Every structure is written in structure tokens, then in C-alpha cells.
């Protein structure tokens, strides 16, 4: 039985004061016991999350990392630095990084490896654009994206990773994939992984992300292969995020 994971992706939002209020509200909740919960914050706030969340049962992480371990890479942040701040997770291959910052399939694979080398659990994001969905290329795109990682890491690495299916057209648009659309892709991904290793495929968590809200979370999380969510906008509002966590706990 896969334990559900609800991870917040704050993206480039927040400040010390708003973070503190949000963290206090989240820590006060009981809903957190039945599922795994994580928050992925901008780099400067990882120390704040570490101070606030240590011992709380809520894990924290970053939204990106360098593919390099150290060196002359001005402005970049290494996985070991994230580990130094107690991060458990790091998002790799988010569609915003792929679209805006040149994170190709190959770079994403390097970042995935760098994350695991630093002892972090990568949350590997996959997803098609609207044009790709309309051209019936959804499964082809997500297969290519996961294949690019598997090709260099091998299947065993997936036992220490989380996958997040995030259709690009559903991110920040209010347009959620239907539960059937999500299940179709999640089921197909798990089937493909099972061709490599049945046990690992059965155990790896596949999250759904893209306009998950308090009123659609329960339906999405009820699907057989949807093991929780990667939550953007709704993770910035304590009551909304907690309602989504509660939906995962049902």
C-alpha cells in the first residue's frame, strides 16, 4: 500500500512573515498524521523551514538544484547545500524550469542523479503541453521524459524517487485534468515502469499536479494510481492546503 504524499510547491512566493504564519497554521493541524506532507520553498527560506518544521512531521525541500556538485557556477545551488538545510525532497524537471530555464530531458536526468547523490529524494515532474495533448501525444511525451531519466539511472533509482504527472495546460490555469485523464496517464506510467521492475513500479508514488484544489482533490486522490498531489497555488493558503491533505487522508 503506497502512503499518500501531498507536497506544496510555493514557487516564487512568500516572505519570512507570510511563511511563518503559514507554517504555524500547518503545524497546528492534525490532518498531517495520516499522510506524508512536504513543502518546497524558494532557496532563501529553507533555513526558516528547517527551524520551523524540524520534528513536526512535515518534510521540506527545494524546487530545483544544480546538476553539478560544486564549482564555478555562479548563482547555482548544489544538492549537498539543500541536504545541509535538512531538505528531504527536491523537485526536478518542473515544466516551468523546462520551458523557461532550458532544463532539457538530459539536464533533468543529470539533476535527478545529483539529487540522489546528495541523499535527496527527487520529485520528477513530467507532463505534456496542450498542443501535445491535442495532437494525441500525451503518453509519448511522458514516456520520453521518464525514459530519459531511466536510461541513465536505471530502474533501481526509481525506488528512491517520487514522480509527479503535471500536465502543463493544467498548471495555474484552474483547468484540472479529470480524474480519468490523470488515472490514464498514471496507470500507463506505472505499467511502463513494471516492464522494468514490477516491485519498484508498484511502490513508486505518482503524484498529480495541476490546479489541485480543495474541491477536486478527493476525486483525484481516489484514483488507483494517484498517490497524492503536487500543489501550487493552493499550498499558499493554509486552510486550502490542509483540506487537500485531509482529502488525501481519507
Residue closer to ligand 13P by CB (options 79, 209) is 209
Pick the catalytic residue: 96, 128, 166, 186?
166
Residue closer to ligand 13P by CB (options 170, 197) is 170
DSSP type of residue 36: E
Residue closer to ligand 13P by CB (options 230, 245) is 230
- The nearest distance, CB 149 to ligand 13P, in angstroms, is 17
Pick the catalytic residue: 76, 94, 96, 140?
94
128 labelled catalytic: no
Burial of 214 (0-12, 13-18, 19+ CB in 10 A): middle
**Contacts to ligand 13P by CB under 6 A:** 9, 94, 166, 171-172, 209-212, 230-234
Give the separation between CA 206 and CA 49, rounded to whole angstroms. 25
- The nearest distance, CB 217 to ligand 13P, in angstroms, is 11
| Residue least distant from ligand 13P (Cβ) | 232
- The nearest distance, CB 171 to ligand 13P, in angstroms, is 4
Q: What's the Rg (C-alpha) of the chain?
A: 17
151 labelled catalytic: no
Give the separation between CA 200 and CA 246, rounded to whole angstroms. 27
- The nearest distance, CB 237 to ligand 13P, in angstroms, is 11
Q: Output the CA angle 190-231-99, nearest 5 degrees.
A: 80
Give the separation between CA 25 and CA 238, rounded to whole angstroms. 6
Residue closer to ligand 13P by CB (options 103, 166) is 166
| CB proximity list for 1: less than 8 A, separation 6 or greater | none
| CB proximity list for 9: less than 8 A, separation 6 or greater | 40, 63, 91, 94, 209, 230, 231, 232, 235
Residue closer to ligand 13P by CB (options 11, 190) is 11
- The nearest distance, CB 173 to ligand 13P, in angstroms, is 7
User: What is the grid cell recorded at 144?
Assistant: 520520453
| Active site residue ranges | 94, 166
Amino acid at each position: 500500500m503506497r502512503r499518500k504524499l501531498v507536497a506544496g510547491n510555493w514557487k516564487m512566493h512568500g516572505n519570512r512573515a507570510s511563511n511563518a504564519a503559514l507554517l504555524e497554521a500547518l503545524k497546528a493541524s492534525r490532518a498531517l498524521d495520516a499522510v506524508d506532507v512536504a513543502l518546497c520553498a524558494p532557496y532563501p527560506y529553507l533555513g526558516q523551514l528547517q527551524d520551523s518544521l524540524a520534528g513536526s512531521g512535515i518534510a521540506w525541500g527545494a524546487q530545483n538544484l544544480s546538476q553539478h556538485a560544486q564549482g564555478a557556477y555562479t548563482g547555482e545551488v548544489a544538492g549537498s547545500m539543500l541536504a545541509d538545510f535538512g531538505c528531504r525532497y527536491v523537485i526536478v524537471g518542473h515544466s516551468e524550469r523546462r520551458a523557461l530555464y532550458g532544463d532539457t530531458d538530459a539536464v533533468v536526468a543529470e539533476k535527478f542523479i545529483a539529487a540522489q547523490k546528495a541523499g535527496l529524494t527527487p520529485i520528477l515532474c513530467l507532463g505534456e503541453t496542450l498542443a501535445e495533448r491535442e495532437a494525441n501525444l500525451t503518453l509519448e511525451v511522458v514516456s520520453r521524459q521518464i525514459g530519459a531519466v531511466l536510461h541513465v539511472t536505471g530502474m533501481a533509482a526509481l525506488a528512491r524517487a517520487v514522480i509527479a504527472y503535471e500536465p502543463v495546460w493544467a498548471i495555474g490555469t484552474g483547468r484540472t485534468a479529470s480524474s480519468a485523464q490523470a488515472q490514464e496517464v498514471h496507470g500507463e506510467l506505472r505499467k511502463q515502469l513494471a516492464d522494468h521492475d514490477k516491485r519498484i513500479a508498484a511502490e513508486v508514488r505518482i503524484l498529480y499536479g495541476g490546479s489541485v484544489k480543495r474541491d477536486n482533490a478527493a476525486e483525484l486522490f481516489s484514483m488507483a494510481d494517484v498517490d497524492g498531489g503536487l500543489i501550487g497555488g493552493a499550498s499558499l493558503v493554509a486552510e486550502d492546503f490542509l483540506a487537500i491533505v485531509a482529502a488525501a487522508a481519507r
